[in-house]
Amino acid sequence: MDGRNYINGEWVPGSGPTFETHNPASTGEVLGAFPRSGPFEADSAVEAARAAYPAWSHLSRIRRAEYLWDFCNLARAQTEELATLLARESGKVMSEARADIVEGIHMAQFVFGRARMSYGDVVASEIPGKDAFALRKPKGVVVAITPWNFPFAIPVWLIAPSLLEGNTVAFKPAEETPLLGQKIVELFHQAGLPKGVLNLVQGYGEDAGWPLVTHPDVNVILFTGSYEVGSRIRQAAAKDYNKLAACEMGGKNAVIVLDDADLKTAVNASVMSAFRTTGQRCTAASRLIVHEKILSPFKEAFVNTARRLTIGDPLNNNTFMGPVISQPAMHKVLGYNDLARKEGVTVLLDGGRLSGKDYDRGYFLSPFIYQTENRPGMRCIREEVFGPHVAVIPFRTLEEAAFIFNDVEYGFSLAIITEDYRKARFLREECEFGVGYVNLPTIGAEVHLPFGGLKKSGSGLPSGATLIDVVTHRIAWTINHDREIKLAQGLSAEIT
Ligand code: UN1
């Protein structure tokens, strides 16, 4: 693909160097070259978005939503082609690549449906002659900086609600998945979105992302990625009086398996949580906190299942686990496997880099599973790994399970495997998380729910259904129908 930026409705080549995108399953396969943009392109994108804002925000909400409807129809007609490209660029297996496209479509559908529904409240006034409303207004220019692990769904999650509410957008996809980023913008272009409403800036975080984040004319930054970057973005945004940053960041999520758990459910949920997307989800579980009574049968069944997983070409429909995204990602996971050994864990399945034949062409890893107590200061059970690396941690009491769950700096997702609703409720109340499940994996959130974590996982401004709160500000609007002024709190309106 001939990569371009998209600024003010025009596909423009970059002025400087380019970067390439590769298939992580077969690194010799180059999928395209893209502009390595810098401050000039970032400024142009924000200026175009600012210029388009008055007309876009004054368009009817229904009309704005119709562009999303057209986007949806175009994406639906090409789901298979988009999913294939997504699998080749990100290494996600086909069923997950399809689900990624479908999740983006779902968000656009959800947002489209919202257009004809209430976007404010009518509230009572102390004064009978007053009508009071809580309404919403768009914020202005939104910057969306998105990750490679959901290269279609997450950009659409962030862009679609922003557009519906009347904002305009400058979008920078991850440098690992620029092709899917460009595909999304092509679909909006084909849907006839007016020029400047959505702009695309390709490139790296430091060169292209940072000038977008720090641009004085940006009102909202929506970021999904690591805590380190998210934290820098939040600090930069806090310096500007008119800027808000909503960040979805890492996780050190867990499945808690109680002593009454159905073993089949526990194993299935744990395998999905730990190894779907090769462990590269902010909702993936890298800790399995298991009651000591069920520990032996659980370990045996979990390790045996993990040992049999089909690892290989993402385009093959039978593959369960594809490669990790890049060489640095692979080295990071291998480094954490070594760290776990050094920290004295008991290795249950000694995974590592796969070699031979097709494996040599990509970044393929097999599952690394170990058992350890939750010892203070251990890094492998506290830091985010983002790969097929998982700890089995035994517990004895429910209180201890909650303590272990909370004994990390992250708080994204939680799954509890139990038949006992009282115990599940206890853990729901005691554990710090944003997305919780019972008898399910830690992954698989749906777009019409809030989506975000606590602590280092989020900024307290969840996305998903609740992104509307981030991209709008609420205004109070009160109208007097009496001929004279009457004030709340019994305040006299007499002028003496
Ligand atoms: C992410 O990993 O950043 O709940 C998003 C899930 C998906 C979204 C994950 N629906 O796992």
Which ligand 1 atom lies nearest to the CA of residue 435? 4
> Is 492 a domain residue?
no
- In a shared domain, residues 110 and 28: yes
Report how far ligand 1's centroid is from the alpha carbon of 287 (Å). 17
Name which of 304, 230, 315, 317 is nearest 270 in CA terms.
304
Phi and psi angles of residue 140, each rounded to the nearest 5 degrees, phi first: 135, -115
Q: How far is ligand 1, taken at its centre, from the CA of residue 478, in Å?
A: 40
The answer to whether residues 214 and 323 belong to one domain is: no
Phi and psi at residue 99, to the nearest 5°: -60, -35
* Stated pTM of the model: 0.97
Pair 230, 260 in one domain = no
Which listed residue (96, 248, 380, 431) is catalytic?
A: 248
Q: How far is the CA of 164 from the centre of ligand 1 (A)?
A: 22
The amino acid occupying position 113 is G
**Residue 482 included in any domain:** no
Query: Is position 248 annotated as part of the catalytic site?
Result: yes
- Pairing label, strands 450-451, 463-464: antiparallel
The pLDDT of residue 357 is 85
How many domains does the structure of the chain reveal?
2
For residue range 403-457, list pLDDT tens digits in order. Answer: 999 999 999 999 999 999 999 999 999 999 999 999 999 999 999 999 999 999 9
**pLDDT of residue 15 exceeding 90:** no
254-293 residue pLDDT tens: 999 999 999 999 999 999 999 999 999 999 999 999 999 9
- Over residues 72-95, the mean pLDDT reads 98
Instruction: Check residue 312 and give its pLDDT.
Output: 98
Structure tokens at 165: 């509410």
Clarify whether residues 263 and 201 are in a common domain: no
What would the mean pLDDT of 342-360 be, rounded to a whole number?
97
Residues 122 and 267 in one domain: no
Residue at 179 is within a domain? yes
- The answer as to whether 241 is a domain residue is yes
- Say how many Å lie between the CA of residue 122 and the centre of ligand 1: 34
Q: What is the mean pLDDT of the chain?
A: 97
Q: Which ligand 1 atom is the nearest neighbour of the CA of 451?
A: 4
Question: For the purposes of burial, counting CB atoms within 10 Å of the CB of 455, is it exposed (0-12), middle (13-18) or buried (19 or more)?
Answer: buried
Decide if pLDDT at 16 tops 90.
Answer: no
Closest ligand 1 atom to Cα of 282: 2
* Residue 106 sits in the same domain as residue 126: yes
The answer to whether residue 224 sits within a structural domain is yes
Residues 38 and 18 in one domain: yes
Out of 247, 282, 380, 431, the active site residue is 282
247 in catalytic set: no
**Are both 176 and 229 inside the same structural domain?**
yes
Asked whether residue 489 is domain-assigned, the answer is no
CA nearest neighbour of 288 among 379, 217, 381:
381
β partners of residue 20:
33
Domain harbouring 216, CATH code: 3.40.605.10
Which of 146, 150, 384 most suits a substitution to test ligand 1, by most atoms within 8 Å of the C-beta?
150
Beta bridge partners of 192: none
Ligand 1 midpoint to CA 154 (Å): 8
Considering the domain boundaries, does residue 121 fall inside one?
A: yes
Domain co-membership, 272 together with 220? no
- What residue ranges line ligand 1, CB within 6 angstroms? 103, 149-150, 224, 281-283, 443-445
Let me know if residue 238 belongs to a domain: yes
Q: What's the rounded Cα separation, in Å, for the pair 127 and 480?
A: 9
Ligand 1 pocket: which of 222, 280, 281 to mutate (most atoms within 8 A of CB)? 281
Instruction: Pick from 107, 176, 276, 282 the residue to mutate for probing ligand 1's pocket: most ligand atoms within 8 Å of its CB.
Output: 282
Residue-level pLDDT at 197 = 99
CATH code (residue 344) = 3.40.309.10
69 with 145, same domain: the answer is yes
d(CA 47, CA 119): 28
Task: Provide the pLDDT confidence category of residue 14 given band limits of 50, 70 and 90.
Answer: confident
Mean pLDDT over 335-362 rounds to: 97
Q: Are strands 130-138 and 389-395 parallel, antiparallel or unpaired?
A: unpaired
Note the pLDDT of residue 1.
82
Given ligand 1 and candidates 105, 226, 253, 283, which is best to mutate, with the most ligand atoms within 8 Å of its CB? Answer: 283
For ligand 1, atom 3: residue with the closest CA:
282
**For 117-148, b where at least 16 C-beta lie within 10 A, e where not — what string?**
eeeeeeeeeebeebebeeebebbbbbbbbbbb
pLDDT 10s digits, 382-408:
999 999 999 999 999 999 999 999 999
Residue 474: the pLDDT is: 96
Q: Please state the atom number of ligand 1 nearest to the C-alpha of residue 153.
A: 8
Domain coverage including residue 66: 5-249+458-477
Q: What separation in Å is there between the alpha carbon of 39 and the centre of ligand 1?
A: 31
Instruction: Name which residue sits closest to atom 11 of ligand 1, judged by CA.
Output: 443
Q: How far is the CA of 186 from the centre of ligand 1 (A)?
A: 24
The span from the CA of 104 to the CA of 160, in Å, is 9
Q: What is the pLDDT averaged over residues 19-42?
A: 97
Query: Average pLDDT for residues 347-363, to the nearest whole number?
Result: 96
User: Do residues 359 and 398 both lie within one domain?
Assistant: yes
pLDDT digits (tens, 9 = 90+) for 117-154: 999 999 999 999 999 999 999 999 999 999 999 999 99
Q: Taken in order 395, 401, 407, 413, is the CA torsion positive or negative?
A: positive
Please tell me whether residues 306 and 337 are part of one structural domain.
Answer: yes
Amino acid 182: pLDDT:
98
